Amino acid sequence: MKRIFKHILPAAAMAMAFGFTSCIGDLDVDKNVLDPNKDTKFEAEGLFNKCYANLAMEGNGGGGTTDIVYPDAGFTGLVRQMWNSNELTTDEAICGWGDDGIATFIDNVYDASHPMLAMYYQRLALGISYCNQYLNVAADYNPTMTAEVRFVRALQYYLMMDGWGNIPFAEKIEKPVQIERKAAYEWLEKELLEIEPLMSDAKAKKSTDTGYGRADKAAAWFLLMRLYLNAEVYTGTPQWEKAAEYANKVITSSYRLNTKGVDVWTPYQMLFMGDNGETDAAYEAVLPLYADGITTTQYGCSEFLIASTFDADMHANPKDPAATNGVNVGWSGNRARPNLVRKFFPVGDVPQKESYETAEIAGDDRALFCGVKRELDNIKRGNFTDGYAVAKFTNFKTDGSVGKDPTFADTDFFLFRVAEAYLAYAEATARMSGGNTTAEGTKCINDLRKRAHAQERTSGSFTLDDILDEWSREFYFEGIRRPTLIRFGKFGGKNGYKWQWKGGSFEGRDFAEYRNIFAIPAKDLVANGNMKQNPGYK
């Protein structure tokens, strides 16, 4: 088997497979990909790789190409739009770019015309269609590959259900029908339980190992863990015991926390660096999205996370004070809201230092904020220096070098990493124990804090509020904040939890609870008569 992404089927050869525009609504998909009249050769491994590549890349030609027609190819990346929808809407991130949709994310006033939500929805729908086509023409090719494609499809259905609740659904190449969120949850649970025994054994890997970047049993456990952790939101019925069970499966597998730093780089920093697939950091990645500055370039995955958070005045390498982020681009866009920085500095002034110095002063390796010549508050939203910069993702390598290409990152994006199972276990068991962590749950959080050289809790337990803060400290800017806040009752509705510009007010104000679920894009409502708009949206 050729390594994933090293053998992506060219667009022309994909054409035979995708004569199904009705399956994904009237989306602006490249017609060279979707033309059913092309005389092309079917190739199972190429189509298999395409199912995975949709998670990390915008198009077959790498950075600057896309399967979805849009002037800015990088805008169409799945991770980029998942990140925008789950971070810019929350207490963690803000951006001052003039891109259509950013301001309405920040103000929590998005609707059915939102371009970024439409792009995220399209990318998920297109990825589901790729998987459906593989299952239509190649299900008998290899049973393990078939199970993996079903997993990749389930992952994208999960993300769609999490964002939109009542979603378009089809398991074949046909126009989807709308199913309610509870039905989607039940299908996902059944599907994941069915494919888990068919997947390869859970085994931690580096990029040099066969199967790196492919889902195994641990990925299925991980997605089940997420499903059960949010079950009360999705169905009205909590499943904390099952969430803890599957979190424990991940924790006790061969995947493990990275706890050993290299040279000046901390174990936490190594998770977000240009050689994270080659060092022991890779063993924490239950599902990494592969990036290579030469062969699998992109603007909408790790490249976006690095470039959008830096400008030329930031220097994140303690060994080279002149180095910026490991690539030669900095877009001066996404930065922290004060709530995020205050998770590490709850009182007093916050140091105006480089990120590695800030982390040392915070006593927590995760506090990777650059405050040089910056203000803590986001007063002028269009001013990149109004807000502390986040230097979490870089393209530096632990040997002091940078990536293969000066523009494109080698940094893999760890979509699933083991640390999430630690917090999921702590939270689920706390919710079953009156809102405070058990001894085992306390240890899980302490293990993460110990890894970050932060102060551990030697007596007593963590409350749910403590756990919510720990979710932010560990996973800020990784694209899961919105669903986390929803699960804790801190997003939409009258909950009193505020951040700057929440609800369109600098001081922050509550917004309607119906915005916990996004609006179905207007174009899909027109294209697919089976779809109805979610409650609250006109």
Q: Which CA distances in Å does 457 have to 247, 268, 466, 474? A: 22, 19, 11, 16
In angstroms and rounded to an integer, the radius of gyration of the C-alpha atoms of the chain is 22
> Which two three-digit tokens encode residue 61?
């030609």
Alpha-carbon distance of 479 to 309, in angstroms, equals: 14
CA-based end-to-end distance of the chain: 49
Which of 465, 503, 500, 498 lies closest to 484, judged by CA? 465
Identity at 206, one-letter amino acid code: K
pLDDT of residue 42: 66
pLDDT of residue 30: 55
Tally of CB atoms within 10 A around 513: 15
Q: Which CA distances in Å does 31 have to 19, 36, 473? A: 9, 9, 43
Q: What is the dihedral of CA 295, 299, 302, 308, to 10 degrees?
A: 150
Q: Which CA distances in Å does 493 have to 171, 277, 481, 485, 516? A: 34, 41, 16, 11, 8
Bridge partners for 413 per DSSP: 289
> Which two three-digit tokens encode residue 337?
């809201």
> Which two three-digit tokens encode residue 346?
């709850």
Look up the pTM and report it.
0.95
Q: What is the DSSP letter of 66?
A: -
Residue 33 CA from chain centroid, whole number: 26
Report residue 390: phi and psi, to 5°: -110, 120
The H or E element containing residue 240 is helix 240-251
Alpha-carbon distance of 413 to 390, in angstroms, equals: 16
pLDDT in tens, the chain (538 residues): 334 554 444 433 343 333 333 334 445 655 445 444 443 456 899 999 999 999 999 998 888 999 998 889 999 999 999 999 999 999 999 999 999 899 999 999 999 999 999 999 999 999 999 999 999 999 999 999 999 999 999 999 999 999 999 999 999 999 999 999 999 999 999 999 999 999 999 999 999 999 999 999 999 999 999 999 999 999 999 999 999 999 999 999 999 999 999 999 999 999 999 999 999 999 999 999 999 999 999 999 999 999 999 999 999 999 998 999 999 999 999 999 999 999 999 999 999 999 999 999 999 999 999 999 999 999 999 999 999 999 999 999 999 899 889 999 999 999 999 999 999 999 999 999 999 999 999 999 999 999 999 999 999 999 999 999 999 999 999 999 999 999 999 999 999 999 999 999 999 999 999 999 999 999 999 999 999 999 999 8
Question: 3-class SS at 290?
Answer: coil
